Amino acid sequence: MTSFSNTPYWSDVNNLPNMVPMPQSLRLGPWLQLEQRLNELVMKKKELYVITGPFFFIKGPAANPAAAKGNQGIL
């Protein structure tokens, strides 16, 4: 994420717990496109919050079926 270079946040985003090896095809394909799109949005909106995390797939009845309705079991 070159947009953080030479900022006080550089050390926060570039530490080993925050890094995962990824194949070149992902890094230069979909991941690069995602970063470029986020940069475009920041230029337009000036502020952007990105929340990331894992997807959890529920097998069997969901704890709250009403919440899962239409989500194909993904909450």
Please, is 43 exposed, middle or buried when counting C-beta atoms within 10 Å of its C-beta (0-12, 13-18, 19+)? exposed
CB 71 within 8 A of CB 55: no
Q: Among residues of the chain, what percentage have pLDDT more than 90?
A: 12
**Amino acid at residue number 47:** E
CB 74 within 8 A of CB 57: yes
pLDDT tens-place string over residues 14-39: 666 656 788 899 889 998 999 899 88
| Domains of the chain, residue spans | 2-50
Q: How far apart are CA 64 and CA 51, in angstroms?
A: 23
